[in-house]
Structure 1
């Protein structure tokens, strides 16, 4: 179901595997995907200095290894159909899912351009005292095949990085409160992270897709930088949040 549409943005309510079939084949220049990490297991974490439940929603509960893997394989296949041959995909995740997603991508013939480590200097402390404090996520940047001609705005990124080549470890704090004015998503990404991905691999006027739209950070950064955006989410409340954030830009 189409939830919202304007000149540069289309928000779609529903399961991304189904809704991606309604989009035109090879119509998207870049995809940013932040799929469920399957961490809603009734555990605890630290939030604002207090114990808090890690549960994010039923959409984040694991269905077991095989079901989780098949889900990831299906949405990747659906994304492959709409991605241009010159396009690329960014996928973020923790160790809980990112390695199986990388395996599925290689099964589909994709080539990994880069693996990026997003280091969070202000990550929440570990409450169990039985392992190291998790303070990073991994982003994998891939293209359809090793010989595919992907876009990389090298000069812009080098200039943005103070005239030096940008390395594959990005130190970026977690999402600041100022980016949660209209509400928040439990896995909301900071705009600074999306800015690097979008500006590195797209040009003005390109079409960007986020199949797990969440709070819409991908769309916000896309619109702020004169790109077009399609966002899909299974939760209406998060599409409403995305719409408010994007309308604020206009």
Structure 2
């Protein structure tokens, strides 16, 4: 697992990184604060940056006994602002930055990204009907995935998704009429994703807390990632983004401040390497 990375792939560090590095054949992960991690990277090195910070907000962190964080809203806002500003510096010209957050924070942080010179492309609404109605509000039913680029994108691929079928009869839910022949290979992906389910069952989760569905990041990597490019993830959690990057044959570098999540990600990425090795051996 801790094999040396090819020298040409170590150019993402500004100098010698002073922390402990876990190396894989196509990337590295470290146990570090997100801002410290981004400050240690070279500017203009990332093709894709995916930012999925902790966002169990609406009150102070720490009200739930299982959460160790206890951060005032103003402190959180200032910290994330600094993370995003540094992320813009780390992003290549033509690169892509995605921010996954609650709509209220996406609105605030999206303005900051525009002020820093990024070009807004999409507010992707990801259907997640698992919230609770509070006060004089509508039922929250989506998370926001903001899609920004640093100028004209170097790479963009528009995926197609399968036509929605009735789970009972197997027929198309929508009547496409005379256009059916044009959608037989799938329909163009829109900025409303309702075909992705949250990871809730413990059988499919790597941790007790909410987990980012790999189907989201796999789609993101397919849209903006290119083989041999670099994915940067300052909040790796259980490693979903990096796992998707490996599937696309991209290089990656990421960090998480919690060692338990780093260990989960290490195990997950090592399993991915083992699976890939078995596939290669089978094809030889």
Question: Gapped runs of 5+ residues in structure 2?
Answer: 1-18, 164-184, 274-284
Structure 2 equivalent of residue 48 of structure 1 = none
Structure 2 equivalent of residue 173 of structure 1 = 197
SS at match of 1:106: helix
Does the CA-based 8 Å contact 2:88-2:118 persist in structure 1?
A: no
Does the CA-based 8 Å contact 1:191-1:217 persist in structure 2?
A: yes
In the TM superposition, 1:212-227 aligns within 5 A as 212-227=235-250
Alignment equivalent of 2:37, drawn from 14, 19, 25: 19
Q: 1:111 to 1:243 in 2, by over 3 A?
A: same
Residue 206 (str. 1) matches residue 229 (str. 2): yes
Q: 1:42 to 1:17 in 2, by over 3 A?
A: closer
Q: 1:83 to 1:18 in 2, by over 3 A?
A: same
Residue 139 (str. 1) matches residue 139 (str. 2): no
Q: Could you report, residue by residue, the CA deviation over 1:90-146 in whole angstroms, capped at 9, with x for unpaired residues?
A: 1000124111101111111111111100002xx33527686443221000000124x
Stretches (4+) displaced over 6 A: none
Q: 1:40 to 1:14 in 2, by over 3 A?
A: farther
SS at match of 1:102: helix
Structure 1 equivalent of residue 72 of structure 2 = 63
Q: 1:41 to 1:3 in 2, by over 3 A?
A: farther
Residue 164 (str. 1) matches residue 187 (str. 2): yes
Q: 1:89 to 1:73 in 2, by over 3 A?
A: same
Residue 98 (str. 1) matches residue 106 (str. 2): yes
Question: Gapped runs of 5+ residues in structure 1?
Answer: 44-52
How many Å separate the matches in 1 of 2:258 and 2:241?
16
Superposed CA RMSD: 2.4
Relative contact order, higher structure (CA 8 A, sep 6+): 1
Q: Could you report, residue by residue, the CA deviation over 1:38-80 in whole angstroms, capped at 9, with x for unpaired residues?
A: 527379xxxxxxxxx7566344x44233x23221221112212
Normalising by structure 2, we get a TM-score of 0.73
Instruction: Point out the structure with the larger strand share.
Output: 1
SS at match of 1:98: helix
Q: CA deviation at 1:248?
A: 0.9
Q: CA deviation at 1:188?
A: 1.4
SS at match of 2:117: coil
Paired residues in the alignment total: 231
Residue 149 (str. 1) matches residue 153 (str. 2): yes
Normalising by structure 1, we get a TM-score of 0.83
